Amino acid sequence: MTNKNIRNILRVQEQLRFQLLPYTKALQALEKNTKMMKINQDVIRLSEITRAALVPVEELSRRVAYMPSILETMEEFQKIQELVQVSNERFYLPNLTNAIQLLQEFEKNTVLKTMERYNLQLTEIHRSFETMRNSWLDTENQLQSLDGFVALKGIGHALSNIKSFDVDMTEALRIDLGDWREEIVLQTDVIANPVVRASFYEAKGLNTNLTAFPSATFDELVISSGIKNQPSDHYGDDYLDSDQENSELEIAFERTNVAHDTLQRFETEIRKFIDDLMKERFGSNWIKHRVPGEMCKQWKEKQQKAKDHRENVWPLISYADFSDYVTIITMSNNWQEVFEEIFVRKSSIQESFQRLFPIRLSTMHSRVITQDDELYLFVETKRILLAIRRFKS
C-alpha cells in the first residue's frame, strides 16, 4: 500500500469518526444510565439515536465495504451498526393479503384519519402494497409502520393533486411535519448533532412514524409516492470510480451532497422566479423599491467584494441569503400585490422556509443528513416549486 493510499484511508477514517461522534456520545450516555426511573426516557432516546443513524450507518456500511481496514478499527461504528441492524431485522415485507388485513384491522385508528386528511383512497393504498419491494412492516410496531406508510403516500398524493398552499393542505402537513409557524432560533448543537436534531424535530411535532423505516424502504416510499424525484446518477458508482482518490470522502458525504444539490437547484429556481416576476410587475429597478434597505446594502457589499477580488460578478439578487427570499415574499406591499395569490397565507410560506432552515445549515457545514432532514427537504422544496410552476402555467 502506498503512502498516498495510507494518507487517504486515515483521512477517511477521521471523517467517519467525526460523522459518528454524536451517535457514540449518545450511546455512551445511555450505557452509563442504569437508574430504573429513567428507563422510559432511555427507550425514547434510543429510538431517536436509531432513527438519526439509519441513513448514515447503512450508507457507510454499504459504500465503505471495499475498505474493511477502516471499519475494523472503528469499534464505535460497529456498535452503532449493530443497533441499526437489530432495528432493521424487525422489518419484513407482508404479502398483499396480510397487508390489506392489517389495514382493515387498524383502519379505525389513526390510519383512517390520515387517509381522510390527504383524501387518499383505499385502492391507492392497495396498489402501493402490491408494488413494494423492500421490507416496511415493523413486527413490534405494526400500527406505527402502517401509519408512516399511509402518511407518506398521502403526502405524495396531496402534493400531486391539491394546491400546495391550500389551507387544508397546510393544516394536514402541520399534523405530520409539526407546527413551525413561530420563529425558530437554531442552537449550534441542533445543526452539528443529528441525534439532537432528531429530538428537535420531534419536539416541533414531526410524526416520527414517517421516517422510522430502513433507508432502502424510506427511499422506495418517498420516490414511489412522488415526494422525491428519481435519484441522480451523479453520485453513483461510475462517479466514484472516475476519481478514486477523492471518492471515499464523497461516499461519507453522499447524501449531504445530494441535499446540497437539491437546495442549490431550489434556490436557483426561486431566485429566478422572484426576479422575473418582480421585473415584470415593477421594472428592472424593482430591488431599489421592493427590498429592505439593509438587505440591499448587504447584497451590494457582496457584489463589490466579488469585483474587488476579480471574481465573476452576478446580478444583485444572486447575492441574496437563503432567508432573504421569504422576507421579500412576505413584505407587506410585495405580499398584497404579488405573492398572496401564490402562497395564500404569509404564515404558510414562512413555515415552509423555516422547515428548510435546519437542513440548509447542516448541508452548509457538511453535517450528516438524516431521513428526517430528507423528508422536510423533499416535501417543502417540491411544495414551493409546485406552487410556483402552477402559477406560471
Q: What is the DSSP secondary structure assignment for residue 137, as one 8-state letter?
A: E
| Separation of alpha carbons 290 and 296, rounded Å | 10
* Residue 121 pLDDT > 70: yes
Cell numbers at 165, concatenated: 398552499
pLDDT given for residue 258 in this prediction: 86
* Residue 139 pLDDT > 50: yes
Minimal CA–CA distance to 386: which of 196, 229, 232?
A: 229
For the chain, helix, strand, coil in percent to 5 are 75, 0, 20
| Separation of alpha carbons 298 and 288, rounded Å | 13
pLDDT given for residue 246 in this prediction: 47
Q: What is the pLDDT of residues 216-263, one digit of tens each?
A: 999 999 999 999 987 654 433 433 344 444 444 454 457 778 899 999
DSSP string, 71-123: HHT-HHHHHHHHHHHHHHTTEE---HHHHHHHHHHHIIIIIHHHHHHTT--HH
The more confident residue out of 379 and 332 is 379
Q: How confident is the model at residue 11 (pLDDT cuts 50, 70, 90)?
A: low
Q: What is the mean pLDDT of residues 145-154?
A: 96
CA distances from 62 to 59, 72, 254 (A): 5, 14, 12
* Residue 92 φ/ψ, nearest 5 degrees: -145, 165
The more confident residue out of 237 and 159 is 159
* Residue 200 pLDDT > 80: yes
pLDDT given for residue 72 in this prediction: 47
* Residue 324 φ/ψ, nearest 5 degrees: -70, -30
Q: What is the mean pLDDT of residues 5-31?
A: 54
Write down the domain spans for the chain. 3-91, 92-224, 233-392
Q: How confident is the model at residue 87 (pLDDT cuts 50, 70, 90)?
A: confident
Question: Which of 19-28, 125-134, 368-377 holds the top average pLDDT?
Answer: 125-134
Q: With 0-12 CB in 10 A as exposed, 13-18 as middle and 19+ as buried, what is 268?
A: exposed
pLDDT given for residue 80 in this prediction: 64
H or E, element range at 179: none
| Separation of alpha carbons 275 and 289, rounded Å | 13
Contact status, residue 349 vs residue 384, Cβ threshold 8 Å: yes
- Report the Cα 197 to chain-centroid distance in Å: 12
Say what the pTM is: 0.82
> In degrees, to the nearest 5, what angle opens at C-alpha 129 toward C-alphas 124 and 135?
145
Q: What is the pLDDT of residues 324-354, one digit of tens each?
A: 999 999 999 999 999 999 999 999 999 999 9
Minimal CA–CA distance to 201: which of 57, 51, 54?
A: 51
Mean of pLDDT over the chain: 82
| Separation of alpha carbons 90 and 98, rounded Å | 17
Question: Which of 48-62, 136-150, 362-376 holds the top average pLDDT?
Answer: 136-150
